[in-house]
Structure 1
Amino acid sequence: MVRQLVALAGLWCFALPQVQAQDRPGVELAPVETSDIISEVSLNGTVNALRTSELSTAVAGLVEDVRVETGDRVARGDLLVGLDDEQAEFELASARAEASEALARLEEAQRRLAEARSVGAGRNIAATEVSARESEVAATEAALARLRAEEKRRQVVLDRHRIEAPFDGVVSDRISDLGEWVTPGDQLLTLVDTTNLRLDFRVPQDYYQRITDDSRLLVQARGADQKPVPVTIESLVPVSDPQARTFLIRATAPEDLNVLPGMAVQATLRVSTGERGLTVSRDAINRYPDGRITVWIAEAVDEDLYEVREKRVEVGSGFDNRMEILSGLEGDEEVVIRGNESLEEGARVRLAERGSR
């Protein structure tokens, strides 16, 4: 009996540390890092179409055919508006007939010249006659060239009675209607390219010199419930608005950003300050009503056992889920980023997970 009690006591003593370890709160740790300090600025911008055309006519005429309505999507080359082209067709047919007539005269002149040359000048035909026939061929060739040019001009005039889409897009406004007389320069409709969109933002001039190829721009549609999407800064316009002291940056809208021309967008611009400093995860920061800001530092006691102590810190700017630490840390510590809600000074905790940041 005594032996059994001794054995049970030994087992209890052996298991007690394991039970105590399991009862200790589990925390996740992450190292304090030295990294580039990033400055963030919030921007408001607008979605603009790369191409917006107010289509007009190059010839005067009566609107005879209207193929589109506001909101219709069209492809390049689609007929949008047609003008009455009956007279233009007749004029083209007349020009073609005149060109055909001139071609026939040229062929006859060339035949007569070849005949004169085959006989030979000075024998049965005068040399002046050969020269005259050569001049006739040259004049007829020139007349044919002029009439063919006129035929092409008439073809161009006829084609201009068709107003076609210069690119894929959406008809945002249609002004002309059937039966209206239009003249060159009159606006008929507006076509907007909705596939090639640009995001335009005005940035404070203080950031101009700090924007580099490594700068990041995160964009989301205003009021949209979606995560910010990283976009590429396409151009940086080196001209400042003298009134607002801002300059323009333009980015290409990615396909996964669901926006349309004219919509408002908001963005966060991240640029390097050119400095390096200590940073920790935002989750490591504890803020108190009295203004104190602290982090919990974990120091290893055993392989998976740590002792924590609270350290007051001064923070700087925040960026990319990180916070800059201005004072209070040395840089070689590990801080608690999960499970730090109810820790006590000097408490011992077990490692549940180790974070990389």
Structure 2
Amino acid sequence: MLRPSLLIVSLICVLTMGLSACDKGGKSAGMSEADKKSKAAAERPLQVTAEDLLTIRSNALASGPVITGSIQPERRADLRAEVSAIVLQVLKENGETVKKGDLLVRLDDTSIRDLMTSAEAASRAALQNFDQAERQFQRLKTLRTSGMTSTQQLEDAEIRRNNAQSDLVAAKARTVQARQQLERTLVRAPFDGIVSERKVSNGDTAQIGKELVKVIDPTSMRFQGLVSADKINKVKPGQTVGFRINGYEQEFTGKVKRVDPAANVTTRQVEVMVEFADSANQPRVSGLYAEGRIEAGSTQSLTIANAALIRDGDKASAWRVKDGELKKVSVVIGERDPRRGDYALRSGLLDGDKIIANPMSTLKDGQKVQLVASAGTTAAAPAQPAIKAIVATEPAAGK
């Protein structure tokens, strides 16, 4: 038989062990199924392939002045009214393709046609007067050789002949002018292109000089940019330019074609014309904003891809894989290479470091990483979709 003191001690030990077991059981029972899966997934290593990793390397980084501007066509025409008339018909709308000589706008030609009819009639009358004066002069000239007319009569006939000839020339000029005015009531396309802007509608009054329609050649696009005057000494014709256009994801390449010899008096910037290196691969829309850099030189620097960066305001970081673990590393980046879109790496990573190419928001600092073979590297491997991001294998429910 136990003594009372030993019995009390034994009861206390049993109660303590029971409470501890209950506490552990309560905590385990309090975890949801999702928390259990998340905890189990976090304990498993992340599987990555060689395609999911990038190696930090030193590359040639293009350097040079920044150029900003817009895409403009080299061939464009602002068609304006050359006569004062009413707009009868506009045959083309914005965006329609036109061929050289196609009729775009028709103006009222009633008054001009009347003027041309009057000028043609005056020209015919002047021609008849000239013919009659010429015949009279030739008759008197013949009679003068035989002494049957005076010298004064011959001179008078010659003067009348010359005056009739001057009237005929003036009448023909008025006829030509009236015909030209009549032709100007028909506004035609000066070259093959596209109607970019229609300025008038049927019934409008077109005064001389009023804009009617604009036509551009979409195959003659160029980058019309501006460069700061303090950097213009580095710009020369023939230099390569890498730039991006608003609305297009791809990177465009061109060459400096011309540098304006005068700076803008207000902005102190110099206009630089850049032609596309590939004329077949250029936008067909004018006025788009573009920004790039003229490759005046190049320097060697560590670079990092834009897709591998994690942005947080002005700060940037990347996920480094080292010794089988993930580590979030803060990095300092510099200028962007206009050719590839990579950034110069100032600090944070070293040459040869491996980083995650396309990081996901589920990555955690200190996670284990397991390098696996990518799909298709071995014929015996079962078919599976290509992995472009980090994949964490979750345990099946109930296991």
TM bracket, shorter-chain basis: 0.5 to 0.7
Q: 1:70 aligns with which of 70, 94, 97?
A: 94
Match of 1:58 in 2: 82
The CA distance in 2 between the partners of 1:123 and 1:171, in whole Å, is 73
Structure with the largest fraction of strand? 1
8 Å Cα contact 2:82-2:209 kept in structure 1: yes
TM-score normalised according to structure 2 size: 0.56
Q: Equivalents in 2 of 1:120, 1:187: separation in Å?
A: 63
Residue ranges of structure 2 left out of the alignment (5+ in a row): 1-57, 305-316, 318-333, 345-350, 356-399
Shift of 1:223: 4.6
Whole-Å Cα distance in 1 between the matches of residues 267 and 158 of structure 2?
A: 75
The correspondence of residues 202-213 of structure 1 with structure 2, limited to 5 A, is 202-213=226-237
CA contact (8 A) 2:239 2:255 kept: no
SS at match of 1:209: helix
Secondary structure of 1:203's counterpart equals strand
Corresponding residue for residue 155 of structure 1: 179
Q: Residue type of the partner of 2:255?
A: T
Q: Aligned letter for 1:268?
A: R
Contact 1:221 1:259 in 2 (8 A): no
* Aligned ranges 1:160-199 → 2 under 5 Å: 160-199=184-223
1:94 is aligned to 2:150:
no
Q: Does 1:224 pair with 2:258?
A: no
Query: Cα distance 1:236–1:69, how it changes in 2: closer, same or farther (>3 A)?
Result: same
Would you say the 8 A contact 1:65–1:83 is kept in 2? Answer: yes
Q: Give the aligned partner of residue 395 of structure 2.
A: none
Provide the C-alpha distance between the structure 1 equivalents of 2:170 and 2:194, rounded to a whole number of angstroms: 41
2:259 partner SS:
strand
Matches within 5 A, 1:18-37: none
**Amino acid of the structure 1 residue aligned with 2:167:** A
Q: Deviations over 1:57-78 (max 9, x none)?
A: 1222222222111222223322
Which of 287, 306, 310 in structure 2 is aligned with 1:262?
287
Q: Secondary structure at the match of 2:282?
A: coil
Work out the CA distance in 1 between the residues paired with 2:168 and 2:90: 38
Alignment of 1:250 onto 2:309: no
- Residues 33-53 of structure 1 show CA distances to partners (whole Å, capped at 9, x for unaligned) of 9x9x85245544310223544
Distance, in Å, in 1 between the alignment partners of 2:238 and 2:216 is: 32
C-alpha distance in 2, partners of 1:96/1:234? 51
After superposition, what is the alpha-carbon deviation per residue over 1:184-230, rounded to whole angstroms, capped at 9, x for unaligned? 2333233333232220223344432222356321234335333x343
Q: Distance in 2 between matches of 1:166 and 1:256?
A: 25
1:93, CA displacement in angstroms? Answer: 2.0
For the pair 1:112 / 2:136, whether they are aligned, the reply is yes
TM-score, length-scaled by structure 1? 0.62
Give the greater-gyration-radius structure (CA).
2
Aligned-pair distance for 1:281?
Answer: 8.6
Contact 1:218 1:230 in 2 (8 A): yes
Query: How far does residue 240 in structure 1 lie from its aligned partner after superposition?
Result: 4.2
User: What corresponds to 1:6 in structure 2?
Assistant: none
Give 1:55's aligned amino acid: L
| Structure 2 counterpart of 1:201, from 225, 229, 238 | 225
Deviation at 1:180, TM superposition (A): 3.0
Identity %: 20
Shift in alpha-carbon separation, 1:213–1:96, aligned structure 2, 3 A: closer
Give, as a single letter, the amino acid of the residue that structure 2 aligns with 1:219: F
Deviation, structure 1 residue 148: 0.8
Displacement of 1:143 after TM fit? 0.8
